[in-house]
């Protein structure tokens, strides 16, 4: 080989080496090169606290995602935004997916935020035990609502007949129902915990948590399009992995100060002035409602389908396996990843 050819060959090798080195270095030194996705949540409620923590704690970023969170309070609007690819993932009410599936739309559950209903039963001072509800008036938001389902389910669990032993009345939103108890219009209702200190001063108290009874129900779920899940599995998996990490972070006591600040920010509260209620909120969700893995509970989905099917029997024909895609969560758990988060 001539000297000129040897030099050319060496030059090519050196340039190639540096090109590879620069490319590798650029990849390692570009922390902002992440997949951008838009994720919605459907209410200003502490039930979405783990999602907010994943965003504010940089958990999404560590899993290769640049997540933009937006609030979309209407379930039909969430569905439309998903179908239009304006958002890629929605953390929202599960009912929308059931109705969409019935219409043949491209939506599936990839996770669930809770395994049971997010309610405490509260009452006035005359109610000491669940059995004391017999003969009393219990408020719900409206007939056919999740609060209606919750009241009937818990009454059955404690041995009371919802149709004969109590009177169930429509009384509006949670604040209106709590106010109605304080004024004597009803004696009990269900609310998303915790009970505000202002109502405690009026004699209202928590009788029980519905989580004690393990009443299954799929409320807030992690929803996406099947087509998006198929086309972008790494993004969907990165989101689920982030949520598993966020649940662990939320539940660890050493992270409580950070979690309180996040909750205060998103709930529009003052972390100092409202510390008691924010602290109680964090504790309730960390200890009662957030599990280690955000699975779509089959029993909860069955309960939801059965509940909705009372109004539309066609819904009863839906098959669970066509609506759920949470195998990656099982993979994470089997790999030991989840266990390591709690050590």
Chain segment 150-174, per-residue pLDDT in tens: 899 999 999 999 999 999 999 988 8
What pLDDT score was predicted for residue 49? 96
Least confident of 18-27, 207-216, 232-241: 18-27
Chain segment 13-60, per-residue pLDDT in tens: 333 433 333 332 333 333 345 799 999 998 888 999 999 999 999 999
Which helix (DSSP H) or strand (DSSP E) does residue 16 occupy? helix 3-28
193 or 22, higher pLDDT:
193
Mean pLDDT of 216-221: 87
322 or 238, higher pLDDT:
238
Q: State the sign of the Cα–Cα–Cα–Cα dihedral 194, 195, 197, 198.
A: positive
CA distance readout (Å), 156 to 159, 267, 310: 5, 34, 18
Judged against a pLDDT cut of 50, whether residue 230 lies above it is answered with: yes
Q: Are 151 and 253 in contact (CB under 8 A)?
A: no
Chain segment 255-264, per-residue pLDDT in tens: 999 999 999 9
Percentage of the chain with pLDDT > 70?
A: 90
What pLDDT score was predicted for residue 33? 52
Angle of helix 298-309 relative to helix 95-102, nearest 10 degrees, comes to: 60
What pLDDT score was predicted for residue 3? 43
Mean pLDDT of 303-319: 89
CATH of domain 35-115+217-341: 3.40.190.10
What pLDDT score was predicted for residue 17? 35
Q: Are 193 and 209 in contact (CB under 8 A)?
A: yes
Q: How many residues does the chain have?
A: 343
Q: Are 119 and 195 in contact (CB under 8 A)?
A: no
| Residue 141 CB neighbour total at 10 angstroms | 18
Question: 120-213 adopts what CATH topology?
Answer: D-Maltodextrin-Binding Protein; domain 2 (3.40.190)
What pLDDT score was predicted for residue 215? 84
339 or 29, higher pLDDT:
339
CATH 3.40.190.10 domain residues, the chain: 35-115+217-341, 120-213
What pLDDT score was predicted for residue 9? 38
List strand residue ranges (DSSP E) for the chain, in order: 35-41, 65-71, 89-93, 107-112, 120-123, 137-140, 167-170, 188-191, 205-209, 220-225
Distance CA 42, CA 80 (A): 13
pLDDT confidence bin for 6, thresholds 50/70/90: very low
What pLDDT score was predicted for residue 194? 87
Judged against a pLDDT cut of 60, whether residue 2 lies above it is answered with: no
Least confident of 85-94, 110-119, 330-339: 110-119
Least confident of 145-154, 230-239, 252-261: 145-154
């Amino acid at each position: 080989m001539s000297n000129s050819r040897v030099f050319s060959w060496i030059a090519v090798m050196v340039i190639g080496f540096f090109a590879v080195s620069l490319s590798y270095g650029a990849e390692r030194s570009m922390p902002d090169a992440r997949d951008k996705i838009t994720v919605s949540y459907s209410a200003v409620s502490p039930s979405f606290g783990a999602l907010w923590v994943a965003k504010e704690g940089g958990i999404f970023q560590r899993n290769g995602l640049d997540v933009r969170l937006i609030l979309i309070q209407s379930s039909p609007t969430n569905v439309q935004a998903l179908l239009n690819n304006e958002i890629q993932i929605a953390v929202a009410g599960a009912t929308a997916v059931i109705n969409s599936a019935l219409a043949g739309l491209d939506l599936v559950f990839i996770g669930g935020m809770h395994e049971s209903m997010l309610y405490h039963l509260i009452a006035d001072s005359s109610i000491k035990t669940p059995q004391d509800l017999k003969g009393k008036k219990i408020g719900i938001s409206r007939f056919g609502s999740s609060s209606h389902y919750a009241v009937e389910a818990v009454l059955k669990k404690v041995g009371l007949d919802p149709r004969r032993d109590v009177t169930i009345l429509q009384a509006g939103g949670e604040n209106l129902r709590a106010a109605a108890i304080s004024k004597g219009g009803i004696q009990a209702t269900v609310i998303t915990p915790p009970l505000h200190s202002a109502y405690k001063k009026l004699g209202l108290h928590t009788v029980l948590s519905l989580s004690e009874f393990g009443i299954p129900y799929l409320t807030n779920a992690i929803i996406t399009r099947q087509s998006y899940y198929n086309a972008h599995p790494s993004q969907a998996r990165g989101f689920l992995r982030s949520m598993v990490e966020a649940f662990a972070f939320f539940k660890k006591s050493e992270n409580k100060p950070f979690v309180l600040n996040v909750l205060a920010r998103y709930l529009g509260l003052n972390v100092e002035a409202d510390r008691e209620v924010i602290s109680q909120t964090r504790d309730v969700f960390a200890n009662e409602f957030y599990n280690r893995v955000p699975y779509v509970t089959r029993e909860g989905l069955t309960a939801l389908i059965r509940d909705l099917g009372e109004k539309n029997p066609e819904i009863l024909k839906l098959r669970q396996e066509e609506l759920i895609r949470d195998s990656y969560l099982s993979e994470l758990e089997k790999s030991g990843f989840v266990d390591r988060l709690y050590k």
